[in-house]
Amino acid sequence: MATMGNSTNIFWHECPVSKVDRQKLLNQQGCIVWITGLSGSGKSTLACSLGRQLHCRGKLSYVLDGDNLRHGLNKNLGFTPEDRTENIRRVGEVAKLFADAGLICIASLISPYRKDRDSCRALLPEKFIEVFLNMPLELCEGRDPKGLYKLARAGKIKGFTGIDDPYETPLNCEIEIRQEDGNCPTPNEMAGQVVSYLEDKGYLEA
């Protein structure tokens, strides 16, 4: 009978093709680009633009979008604090596998709790790039692309981040993107900022 809990009687099996071998094949370094911010801040838009710019440079990436993952991998999870933690834990483990395969893994999730994001960073601390879309609540709520803020304000959604559940801002993110003189950067500008960081840090070569 299957039981939940820590696995026992398991052993790690090493394979002859290493992470370095895979990175040489792809001519890039596997890493995790973790995009966090409020709903409506532009995370998915940035993730897709970043993936497109990397693709145009001949670099292999993959986007793990929070909503998309809840259609499959995390479809059995709700939005309680415990489920949110498990949601992020699963995504962090999958992102680590993608990075180990040599891909630039772009994870796009609200991920509101600092301890959960830090737990993901701890899985691959030297290859974790946290991108904070620091957009004000008023802007995100004004956009409200999915109509979720309206539902939350009407009391039809409980525990909505930014309304009746907290968002804990990053303390030491690698990249922070915000408005300049009241204007939001375009998706291409935001993606370009991340690509420049990856290039400067040597991720776009083996």
Q: What is the set of active-site residues?
A: 111
Read off the tokens for 137.
């609540």
Place of tokens 């991340």: 194
Read off the tokens for 14.
């090493």
Burial class (CB in 10 A: 0-12, 13-18, 19+), 195: buried
**Residue 78, C-beta contacts closer than 8 angstroms, at least 6 positions apart:** none
Which residue blocks in the chain are alpha helix, DSSP H?
A: 19-26, 43-56, 66-69, 81-100, 114-123, 137-143, 148-153, 187-200
Q: Is 204 helix (H, G, I), strand (E, B) or coil?
A: coil
Read off the tokens for 71.
């259609």
User: Cβ distance 19 to 96 under 8 Å?
Assistant: no
- Name the residue among 44, 188, 34 with its Cα closest to residue 118: 34
User: Cβ distance 156 to 201 under 8 Å?
Assistant: no
